[in-house]
Amino acid sequence: MTTRRLTALSPEQAPGRAGELLTDIVERHGSAGEMVSTMAHSPALLDGYLSLSRAMKRVKIPRPLSEKLSLAVQEWIGCGTCREAHRAAGRAAGLSEVDIELALQGTSIDPREAALIGLAVRVLAEPGALSDEDVAEVRGHGWSDRVIAEVVGVVALNLLTGAFNLLAGIQPEGED
């Protein structure tokens, strides 16, 4: 059982710019969510997370495939909160349960997608071991340099959220 290590903050409790950011989110969406409210302990972290999150919504990677990348990375990181969020987002993006289970195993039925998912896991787990041949293999599956570069952004965003949730002790609902 993981205990909550960092507490969520209200906009009034959040220091400086974080309070402004939380106020804006709550006004637009009704709430900020546990992770965002907890990130508000650090104005720099919250601002950086929100900026990266917005930027990664503009990637060329199709949404269903982006969710597969996120599922594979979160399975490796071990963040149950993020894994469950990406399961739901994957379903909403049209992924089947088979697609989700394969992504959690770091692969896909589609060899082209499997190559990109495999790259994402390697970017997370062993970036120093990536070679010219690894990049050439992904290019050989028809992926552009833009998409290859954007994989790093998807991985970075998932590492940020997964690591933060694990450090803060934020768990999926229903787990104590």
Q: Is it the case that residue 176 has pLDDT exceeding 80?
A: no
**How deeply is 165 buried, as exposed, middle or buried, from its count of CB atoms within 10 A (0-12, 13-18, 19+)?**
buried
Provide the whole-model pTM: 0.95
**Cα-Cα end-to-end distance for the chain:** 6
* The pLDDT of residue 2 is above 80: no
- For the cut 70, the answer to whether the pLDDT of residue 175 exceeds it is no
| Nearest residue to 68 (alpha-carbon basis) of 43, 34, 103 | 103
Q: What is the pLDDT of residues 82-136, one digit of tens each?
A: 999 999 999 999 999 999 999 999 999 999 999 999 999 999 999 999 999 999 9
Q: What is the pLDDT of residue 31?
A: 95
The Cα–Cα gap between 99 and 66 comes to: 12
Cβ pair 173, 34 in contact under 8 A = no
Provide, rounded to the nearest whole percent, the portion of the chain with pLDDT above 70.
Answer: 97
